[in-house]
Amino acid sequence: MQHSIKNNFPNFSSELVATIEENGTEQSFEAGTILMRTGQYIKNTVLILKGKIKIYREGEDGGEFLMYYLQPGQACAISMICTAKSEKSQIMAKVVEDVTVMMIPLQLMDKWMMEHRSWYEFVIETYRSRFEEVLEVVDNIAFRSMDERLEFYLKRHSDACGCAEVKLSHQEIATELNTSREVVSRLLKKMEQRGLVKLNRNQIELLK
């Protein structure tokens, strides 16, 4: 019940919730699963009920440039956007914490736009917030240097999990920022000297 549609999407009307439960397919995936690849055609919209999915852009060299995370109560904007033409995905989606999702066939997603006001509003709000998030990413890489980007990255993480400890290795961070591990280590060390963080193995504690 904790991972129901009703709980995670409180703005959905009760008819919409019923329709989703009737037509959607609940599925679970383990951490590490790639749900979507660049160039793949999209057949479903995904509503997240449990877990965490990472949306990123893949570089030629295997970089996994982080765009944003999807968490319970959210949906994949890309899959929604690609609706009409069942276009190719331009991004990668990877499960980072075991997830349970509700899969919705694209035709329905489109159909409901006309039938359910709360669905329409949810979709528009999803577009808006994701677009904004991507704009913020652009801001960061266009105008900020690596040390600022790293600080921002850590803050985002701790905000998302609601705790001050970010459990990631330097290598993972480097991959998501498309830089090298050494650079991350060095910058973190400087941050530690400035009293901003406390470093442990596989864990960074934000101090303010």
Contact 175, 64 (CB under 8 A): yes
Count the neighbouring beta carbons within 10 Å of the beta carbon of residue 156.
Answer: 17
* Comparison of 63 and 73: residue with beta carbon closer to its own copies: 63
Is residue 169 involved in binding DNA (CB under 7 A)?
Answer: yes
Least CB distance to DNA at residue 186 (A): 5
As a whole number of angstroms, the distance between CA 101 and CA 203 comes to 28
Q: If binding means CB under 8 A, how many residues of this protein chain bind its own copies?
A: 37
Nearer to DNA, 82 or 173 (CB): 173
CB 175, min distance to DNA, A: 11
Tokens of 153: 């990255």
Give me the phi and psi of 104, to 5 degrees please. -125, 120
- Rounded to whole angstroms, how far apart are CA atoms 55 and 169? 19
CA distance 118 to 47: 14
Residue 135 interacts with its own copies (CB under 8 A): yes or no: yes
86 binds, among DNA, its own copies, none (CB under 5 to 8 A by kind): none
Q: By the 8 A CB rule, do 51 and 72 touch?
A: yes
Does 124 engage in binding with its own copies (CB under 8 A)?
Answer: yes
Q: Which residues bind its own copies (CB under 8 A)?
A: 57, 59-60, 63, 65, 67, 77-78, 81-85, 87, 90-91, 113-114, 120-121, 124-125, 127-128, 130-132, 134-139, 141-143, 178
